[in-house]
Copies of this chain bind each other. A is one copy, B any other.
Amino acid sequence: MVARGEGTRENIIRQAATLFNQHGFTGSSMSDVMAATGLQKGGIYRHFESKEQLAVEAFAYAVNLVGRRFAEALEGKTNAIDRLNAIVGVFAGLSTDPPVPGGCPVMNAGIENDDGNPALRERAREAMDGLRGLVARVAERGKARGEVRPDVDGDALASVMVSMLEGAVMMSRLYGDDVHVARASAHLRRHLEECVRAVG
């Protein structure tokens, strides 16, 4: 059984994650959090000492949900190319059915905080490191197992895949049209076919 205080805290984080992901850190006020949770200001500040602390925890919550999507998609897949294609598939879902409404929290926080809040920028970098590291590790392991061509650079593939998919999520969300994510995914799936080690 969850203690009442803990349930309230989690509910604040969940509601704040949606607000911050849709409207940004500066675009969301503590009044918005109060309205979304039905709590008074004191009830929120009892759990979080500042809007920034709440935003940091709400971002961690959102990134964790994105991470779970990747973990689920990768489960049971061992071949590196299958795993990389599964990663492409998760991004497609971040446009139409994001785990937190508002699209990819990593990109949203990245765009807002490149010239913004330093604590949130640092968290956005760490989350982006996580995305890039996932792609790079899968590619490098695939090379070691002979599934990926030896001249494929895992870090470069990570930059290419993540930048293209994040950009496509942005475009599809801006237009409310999945076609951009579909085209980006098709391009990357063809590119991944070229990364497969030729069987000599």
**What is the interface of chain A, defined by CB distance below 8 A to chain B?**
22-24, 26-27, 101-103, 107-108, 110-116, 121, 124-125, 128, 156, 159-160, 162-168, 170-171, 173-175, 179-180, 183-184, 186-187, 191
Contacts and interface: CB of A to CB of B under 8 A. Distances in A.
B174 A110 contact: yes
Contact of A183 (B116, B156, B170): B156
Top 10 A-B pairs ranked by shortest CB distance? A167-B167, A163-B167, A26-B27, A163-B168, A164-B164, A159-B183, A22-B115, A166-B167, A110-B174, A114-B173
Contact of A164 (B27, B113, B184): B184
A112 B164 CA distance: 19
10 contacts: A22-B115, A22-B116, A23-B115, A24-B112, A27-B27, A108-B111, A128-B171, A159-B180, A159-B183, A167-B170
A18 to B, nearest CB: 10
Contacts of A115: 22-23, 101-103
B160 A187 contact: yes
B170 A166 contact: yes
A121 B174 contact: yes
| Copies of this protein in the complex | 2
Contacts of A112: 24, 27, 111-112
A43 to B, nearest CB: 25
Contact of A166 (B22, B26, B171): B171
A159 B179 contact: yes
B174 A114 contact: yes
Given A27-B112, A115-B23, A116-B23, A160 B171 contact: no
A125 B159 CA distance: 25
Given A163-B171, A174-B114, A23 B23 contact: no
Contacts of A173: 110, 114
